[in-house]
Amino acid sequence: MQKPCIILPLDNFQGEDGIITLEKVLSNESAKALISHIKLNDAVHGSFAPGPDLLQFYMDAIKETESNAKIFLDLKLADTWGTVKNTVSHYKDVAPDIITLRSSCSLKAFTVVKSILPNTKIALVSALTDMSREEHLRRYGLSPEEKIHRDMRALCQKAVVKGQKLPFDMVVCSPLELSYLIQMWGDTFEYVVPGIRDKWMLKSQQERSMGIKEALDLGATNVVVGSQMLKGNPKHGISAEESRLLSIEQISKSWRVKIDPTSFRGTLVNLEGYYESVKKGGRFKGPLVMYVGEYEDKTGKQKNYVGTVYLNLAKIENKPKILHYYAQKLASKIITNNLNPDVIAGVPTGGNYWGEAVAKELQIDYAHVSKIKIRETDQIKGQREDFSFDLSRHELKPGDKVIIVEDLCNTFSSTKKVREAISRAGGEVIAIACAFNRSTDYQDGYWQDLPIIAIDQEAILKYQQDDDRVADLVKARKIVLKPKNNWEILKKAMNA
């Protein structure tokens, strides 16, 4: 499921017209699923109702449509902290999700707003999108992105000096400034991006505009889409409804909307790469999935653990931009932990993709690890196929410091074998890095004597096959031995 990302502006509507328009747009289930906020600006200064009352009317209308949309109060406050305090105080009982402040406000104004509306996100407005780049350079001697960056830095530095938290949560910018700001600030802030005009729309008042997919791909958290959602382009035969459908189609093509920056598991859900067995009456319905890790049963036989959850990271491996996004995060964590590897070695098969991507980010050598099958899958014995590992494709120099990269860390059985292979080749393993650490035994940051560097981690239970919680499913042979090869079976079971 895609994360809602459209901010729908209803600035030009007065009275009940805005409510009627809102209800009409939200009657489209596809549009409703993608609208995150309703933006109000000059509408709160109309004669229909005082600003706080108007917010309440919209909140009630949103609730009636069973939408999860929230209110974005785009006041662009730009006054002394006392006046800002008086203005914001009116909205204390109908707190919006987002409110905008201009960069010309003092740090105290930002602090006051946060104290009155502690659960409201503050969006910084520095460069208005109706001003061309040329005019911006003439008036400020700075490009729009340079001015925004300078204002962000000045406010944040002052807050740090005073021992305060960052004064704002979001930044409003045109899509043309996104790349620069994300390069400078990363994921520190969210980005609200107006100026969205796809090819079937007219440019209107926005001087620095871009299509909706392109803006999202560049890193926009939320996009303000007005005329494109409300009016369309009738002069060119594009109705409002058709324009909404075209906009939704553009969003579905963006790779970045699939990413959940707060949860790696969330991204896998968005990519349909997450399986969890349904429960009924407190019992798992299955099927179970078989894990790589092994244990010795009561008769002395080696068997594989089974589980009710499977994270299919192959759904990321074949999407270069999403893989690159997470490889950057993993590489950044390696740097932050003061590790200085000479070589990255990827554990097959998923780790080969992740390892190569991380090595590119770190600009160091990559050693491809190959696996050699030593046992076939045997469902009757309760065993998956097994492998040994080989590094003959790429040489390691004696003393090379190596980080082993895996897609998923669980029992570390493959990790152990790869570490032994690296040692035989003359290398020294200094850490384990992975996209997700799901181990139940190693959530403290170490495996044996090696630090575990993970983008995300959460202990996910594994079961021996005679465990009372899963034994009935094992007996009925409701086990998928190779989850990636039988993914449609798992999807069907979860959706049933």
Both tokens of residue 195?
């100026």
Q: Are residues 250 and 338 in the same domain?
A: no
pLDDT of residue 31: 85
Q: Which domain holds residue 245?
A: 6-258
pLDDT tens string 255-275: 988 998 889 999 999 999 999
The reply to whether 204 falls in a domain is yes
The reply to whether 13 falls in a domain is yes
Q: Are residues 393 and 465 in the same domain?
A: yes
Query: How far from chain centre, in Å, is Cα 273?
Result: 14
Q: Are residues 452 and 489 in the same domain?
A: yes
The reply to whether 422 falls in a domain is yes
The reply to whether 209 falls in a domain is yes
The reply to whether 451 falls in a domain is yes
The full DSSP string for 131-158 is: S-HHHHHHHHSS-HHHHHHHHHHHHHHH
Sheet containing 446-447: which strands, arranged edge to edge?
Answer: 365-368, 343-346, 401-409, 428-437, 450-457, 446-447
Q: Are residues 245 and 321 in the same domain?
A: no
The reply to whether 101 falls in a domain is yes
Nearest to 256 by CA among 211, 223, 219: 219
The reply to whether 412 falls in a domain is yes
Question: What CATH number does residue 67 fall under?
Answer: 3.20.20.70
pLDDT tens string 128-167: 988 889 999 999 999 999 999 999 999 999 999 999 999 9
Sign of torsion over alpha carbons 424, 425, 429, 432: negative
Both tokens of residue 237?
């035969």
pLDDT tens string 1-30: 567 899 999 987 877 888 899 998 898 888
* Domain end among 258, 290, 314: 258
Residues of the chain with pLDDT under 70: 1-2, 202-208, 379, 384-385
Q: Are residues 59 and 17 in the same domain?
A: yes
Q: Are residues 276 and 205 in the same domain?
A: no
Do residues 9 and 226 touch, judged by C-beta distance below 8 A?
yes
The reply to whether 1 falls in a domain is no
Q: Are residues 149 and 44 in the same domain?
A: yes
pLDDT of residue 203: 59
pLDDT of residue 205: 52
Q: Are residues 290 and 225 in the same domain?
A: no
pLDDT of residue 208: 59
* Domain end among 199, 233, 258: 258
Residues in the chain: 496
The full DSSP string for 269-327 is: HHTT-EEE--EETTEE-S-EEEEEEEEE-TTS-EEEEEESEEE-THHHHT-HHHHHHHH
Q: Are residues 277 and 206 in the same domain?
A: no
Q: Are residues 243 and 284 in the same domain?
A: no
pLDDT of residue 2: 62
- Tell me the pTM: 0.78
pLDDT of residue 207: 54
* Domain end among 231, 258, 285: 258
Domain count, the chain: 2
Q: Are residues 208 and 342 in the same domain?
A: no
The full DSSP string for 177-222 is: GHHHHHHHHTTSSEEEE--B--TTS--TT-SS-B-HHHHHHHT-SE
Q: Are residues 163 and 86 in the same domain?
A: yes
Nearest to 422 by CA among 454, 398, 446: 398
Single-letter amino acid code for the residue at 283: R
Both tokens of residue 280?
């009924």
